[in-house]
């Protein structure tokens, strides 16, 4: 990687309005051609069901399937043959994910708004959830854990996993092993937009689900957006991103490692560092370029840094926080003297890592926090995946006789004012004689 190969270097305050807009805008992951292609696939699966899925496997995955569902014996065999060290690490990750998400379980509430009037809200686990596991440029068994384990903690009735088949007709052994370890109920050799459509609408073999979660490529992301008329999704998602805020206490090499770790995900990954002072910014940029030159996934890393990489200096931490809020990163690493003190300054992001020792890699795999997170600035409105995504809420109301009599006239007045005269009559029927 040649010097100056980062897309943006210099001072944050010196960025032109156009360059700042480009840096903030990460919404262009799914172009019109992708959306059109996905629309065709979704319509085809809705129309033809399993036949379309089998044909798509041949066309897109070069796999000739005799069955869409993977027998449990195959995924249990994958778990049994897993490298013992990998299995140990996955089991540790699953335990931590379960523990973190068990603490998030919601509780029913009741409140008496007036004497004799009770309003309650009860969390009910979803009946069936679909977890998508990528299988293209990279395979992520950890993402299977991030979807299946919280769903199981929530008490979801059935959890299915869909992942693209390889040439032999099966998802990767790692994904199959993770599905077995996490406690999935069914696994299907299905990938891309076809898998999303199948889970959203159901086919002869694939059951319709209540919510679809899990990361994927641009086709998966576009498909999830196109099926929201039929199913809930976790959040629109795009390529990985990180924003590091660093002061003079930070090690430039550590900041560079974190940026490289995200850059290797995807050529469209976005990696930005805000450094207090030009000297630190120069040191971080130099460290990033050295690390990129020796990266094993060098082509992916250099493309990401060239197109969406930035190391920018700020005069103080106070100058950094407004940009952090605007950027709303998927991952925010606060590498400062007292990161905990700065946590209160953060509102819009997927997840926060406090201190350079809290590597994003730890959160991706092992801390127990969920790594399925909003990207492209959607941290303004969306949260990361949690156990709460696997519930729907039932509200209820109780009204005793005296309370009904007290409500009757005021409700009747409001209903009359809106021209809903049957509502008014229903309310006033409870007035005391």
Specify whether 371 is catalytic.
Answer: no
Specify whether 101 is catalytic.
Answer: no
Order of all β-strands in the sheet with 232-233: 186-189, 158-163, 128-132, 211-213, 232-233
> What is the enclosing helix (H) or strand (E) of 148?
helix 141-154
Task: Write out the DSSP string of 328-345.
Answer: --SEEEEESS-HHHHGGG
Tokens for 402? Answer: 């005296």
Q: How many CB atoms lie within 10 A of CB 400?
A: 12
Nearest to 222 by CA among 383, 24, 348, 40: 40
* 400, 402, 405, 408: CA torsion to nearest 10: -50
Among 241, 258, 289, 330, the active-site one is: 330
Q: How far is CA 42 from CA 36, 128, 180, 224, 306, in A?
A: 10, 20, 28, 10, 34
Question: For residues 81 and 85, what is the distance between their CA atoms, to the nearest angstrom?
Answer: 11
Nearest to 180 by CA among 243, 244, 133: 133
Among 264, 331, 356, 371, the active-site one is: 331
Q: How far is CA 369 from CA 65, 108, 257, 372, 373, in A?
A: 36, 24, 21, 9, 10
| Burial readout 222-232 (b: 16 or more C-beta within 10 A, e: otherwise) | bbbebbeebbb
Whether 310 and 244 have beta carbons less than 8 Å apart is answered as no
Residue 179, strand partner residues: none
In sequence order, what are the residues at sequence separation of 6 or more whose Cβ sits closer than 8 angstroms to the Cβ of residue 102?
Answer: 153, 387
Tokens for 20? Answer: 């700042």
Q: Give the residue numbers annotated as catalytic, written as ranges.
A: 330-331
């Amino acid at each position: 990687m040649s010097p100056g190969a980062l897309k943006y270097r210099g001072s944050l305050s010196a960025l032109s309005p156009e360059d700042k807009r480009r840096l903030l805008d990460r919404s262009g992951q799914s172009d019109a051609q992708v959306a059109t292609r996905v629309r065709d696939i979704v319509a085809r699966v809705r129309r033809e069901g399993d036949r379309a899925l089998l044909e798509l496997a041949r066309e897109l995955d070069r796999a000739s399937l005799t069955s869409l569902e993977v027998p449990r014996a195959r995924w249990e065999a994958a778990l049994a043959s897993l490298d013992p060290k990998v299995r140990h690490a996955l089991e540790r990750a699953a335990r931590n994910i379960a523990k973190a998400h068990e603490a998030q379980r919601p509780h029913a509430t009741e409140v008496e708004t007036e004497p004799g009037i009770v309003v309650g809200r009860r969390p009910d686990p979803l009946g069936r959830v679909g977890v998508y596991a990528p299988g293209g440029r990279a395979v992520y068994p950890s993402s299977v854990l991030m979807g299946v384990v919280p769903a199981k903690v929530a008490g979801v009735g059935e959890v299915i996993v869909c992942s693209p088949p390889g040439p032999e007709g099966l998802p990767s052994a790692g994904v199959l092993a993770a599905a077995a370890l996490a406690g999935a109920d069914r696994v299907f050799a299905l990938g891309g937009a076809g898998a999303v459509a199948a889970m959203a609408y159901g086919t002869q073999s694939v059951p319709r689900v209540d919510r679809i979660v899990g990361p994927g490529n641009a086709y998966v992301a576009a498909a999830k957006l196109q099926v929201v008329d039929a199913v809930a999704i976790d959040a629109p998602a795009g390529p990985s991103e990180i924003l590091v805020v660093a002061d003079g206490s930070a090690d430039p090499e550590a900041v560079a490692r974190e940026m490289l770790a995200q850059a290797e995900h995807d050529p469209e990954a976005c990696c930005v560092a805000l450094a207090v002072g030009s000297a630190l910014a120069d040191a971080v940029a130099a460290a990033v370029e050295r690390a990129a030159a020796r990266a094993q996934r060098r082509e992916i890393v250099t493309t990401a840094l060239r197109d969406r990489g930035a190391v920018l200096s700020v005069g103080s931490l106070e100058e950094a926080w407004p940009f952090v809020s605007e950027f709303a990163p998927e991952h925010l690493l606060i590498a400062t003297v007292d990161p905990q003190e700065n946590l209160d300054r953060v509102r819009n992001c997927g997840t926060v890592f406090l201190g350079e020792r809290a590597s994003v890699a730890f959160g991706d795999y092992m801390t127990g926090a969920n790594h399925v997170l909003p990207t492209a600035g959607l941290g303004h409105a969306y949260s990361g995946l949690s156990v709460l995504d696997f519930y729907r809420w039932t509200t209820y109301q109780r009204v005793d006789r005296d309370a009904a009599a007290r409500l009757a006239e005021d409700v009747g007045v409001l209903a009359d004012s809106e021209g809903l005269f049957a509502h008014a009559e229903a309310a006033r029927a409870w007035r005391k004689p």
